[in-house]
Amino acid sequence: MGPVTRAFRRDRAAHTGVAPPVRSKSGFTLIEVLVVLIVLALAAGVAVIAYDGDERGIATREAQRFAGALEHAATRAQVRSETLGVSAEGGSWRFWRRMPAGDTWLPITDDDVLAPRRLPPTLAIAPALYAGQPLPMDAVVPLRPSGRNEPMSFSLSAAQTRILLAADPLNRVSLSLVDIAPPR
């Protein structure tokens, strides 16, 4: 602060009878503290919403995602007159396209809905039944171009929850929630 500014303030205080405000150079104002608290509260709220520790909710969302992808794949097989397949093993699922010549399956890479999906670490998925028969873990379940598929089911499991996904011959997928009782 220059000598002219100090003189101006001193003269103004002398003529008006009001002393210039004294400012402390250390500490924070109440407004600054409140702004910081509001920002921290918003960040904590976002963190709580982002963390979803509800195992049943996570399993249900993943089962709905898989059911939608399964229905989409069955419809795509009909529309494009191609045989598609689905495999589910451990912590992931994948959709396949059968090559017209032979029994070779190639992964589908041109459709975001049918892209391979890795599940959260607490979940596992496995094929259960196809046409009433148990399936091995590495099976590729076919989806025919005719739209007339055999009934099939998959099991999505978490520590306390299991969801059975069942597809009927008309390619409608239903979800059944089965709670697993904790050991006593």
pLDDT tens by residue, 121-130: 889 999 999 9
| pTM (two decimals) | 0.69
What the block records as the tokens of 93 is 């699922």
Average pLDDT over residues 142-162: 90
pLDDT at 18: 62
Q: Residue-wise over 38-76: b if at least 16 C-beta within 10 A, else e?
A: eeeeeeeeeeeeeeeeeeeebbbebbeebbebbbbbbeb
Please indicate, yes or no, if residue 137 is contained in any of the structural domains: yes
> What is the count of structural domains for the chain?
1
Question: Can you give the pLDDT at residue 101?
Answer: 81
- Is pLDDT of 87 > 90? yes
Closest CA to 128 of 86, 79, 160, 96: 86
Single out the residue of 151, 146, 178, 181 nearest to residue 167, CA to CA: 151
Q: Is residue 42 a part of any domain in this protein?
A: no
Pick 55 or 30 by higher pLDDT: 30
Q: What tokens appear for 139 in the block?
A: 């099976």
Rounded (10°) CA dihedral 160, 165, 166, 170: 160
pLDDT tier, 2 (very low <50, low <70, confident <90, very high otherwise): low
Q: In whole angstroms, what is the distance from residue 100 CA to residue 103 CA? A: 8
Decide if 171 is inside a domain: yes
Confidence of residue 58 (pLDDT cuts 50, 70, 90): confident
CA pair distance 180, 8, nearest whole angstrom: 81
In this predicted structure, the answer to whether residue 7 has a pLDDT above a threshold of 60 is no
Within a domain: 14: no
Average pLDDT over residues 21-41: 84
Evaluate whether residue 39 is within a structural domain: no
Q: Domain with 129 in it: what CATH number?
A: 3.55.40.10
- Residue range(s) defining the domain that contains residue 143: 55-179
Share the mean pLDDT of the chain: 84
Question: Is 23 inside any structural domain?
Answer: no
pLDDT band, residue 48 (cuts 50/70/90): confident
